[in-house]
Amino acid sequence: MFVFDTLVHRLKRGCETMAYPNGPAPALPDRHGGALRVDAAKCAAGCSACVPVCPTKAVTRSAGGPVALDLGRCIFCAECIAVCPTKAITQTGDHRMAVRWREDLLLGDPGAEEVRLGAALDEKLRRLFGRSLRLRQVSAGGCAACEADTNVLGTIGWDLGRFGIQFVASPRHADGLLITGPVTQNMELALKKTWAAVPEPKIVIAVGACAISGGPFVGHSEHLGGAASVVPVDLYIPGCPPHPLTILDGLLRLLGRLEEKRKS
Q: Assess if residue 63 is contained within a domain.
A: no
Q: What are the DSSP calls for 35-89, one per residue?
A: SEEE-GGGPPTT--THHHH-TTS-EEE-TTS-EEEETTT-----HHHHH-TT--E
| Average pLDDT estimate for 118-143 | 90
Predicted confidence (pLDDT) at residue 113 exceeds the cutoff of 60: yes
Mean pLDDT (the chain, rounded)? 90
pLDDT of residue 109: 76
The rounded distance, in Å, linking the Cα atoms of 105 and 100 is 9
pLDDT digits (tens, 9 = 90+) for 98-111: 999 999 999 997 77
Confidence tier at 46 by pLDDT (50, 70, 90): confident
Confidence tier at 18 by pLDDT (50, 70, 90): confident
| Average pLDDT estimate for 207-221 | 93
pLDDT of residue 16: 76
pLDDT of residue 27: 85
At 108, phi and psi to the nearest 5?
85, -130
The rounded distance, in Å, linking the Cα atoms of 64 and 96 is 32
pTM above 0.85, yes or no: yes
pLDDT digits (tens, 9 = 90+) for 230-256: 999 999 999 999 999 999 999 999 999
Q: Assess if residue 189 is contained within a domain.
A: yes
At 155, phi and psi to the nearest 5?
-80, 170
Domain count along the chain: 1
pLDDT digits (tens, 9 = 90+) for 62-74: 887 889 999 999 9
Q: Assess if residue 59 is contained within a domain.
A: no
Instruction: Return the closest-CA partner of residue 133 out of 95, 162, 94, 99.
Output: 162
Predicted confidence (pLDDT) at residue 261 exceeds the cutoff of 80: no
Domain boundaries, position 210: 123-254
- pLDDT above 90 covers a percentage of the chain that reads 67
C-alpha 82: how far from its chain's center? 24
46 or 260, which is more confident?
46
Q: Assess if residue 2 is contained within a domain.
A: no
| Average pLDDT estimate for 4-10 | 73
Coil vs helix vs strand at 244: helix
| Average pLDDT estimate for 212-240 | 94
pLDDT digits (tens, 9 = 90+) for 162-207: 999 999 999 999 999 999 999 999 999 999 999 999 999 999 999 9
Q: Assess if residue 191 is contained within a domain.
A: yes
pLDDT of residue 1: 61
Confidence tier at 17 by pLDDT (50, 70, 90): confident
| Average pLDDT estimate for 7-25 | 79
pLDDT of residue 7: 74
* CATH number, residue 243: 3.40.50.12280
Confidence tier at 263 by pLDDT (50, 70, 90): very low
Q: Assess if residue 192 is contained within a domain.
A: yes
CA torsion sign, 258 to 240 to 93 to 49? negative
Q: Assess if residue 97 is contained within a domain.
A: no
Predicted confidence (pLDDT) at residue 262 exceeds the cutoff of 70: no
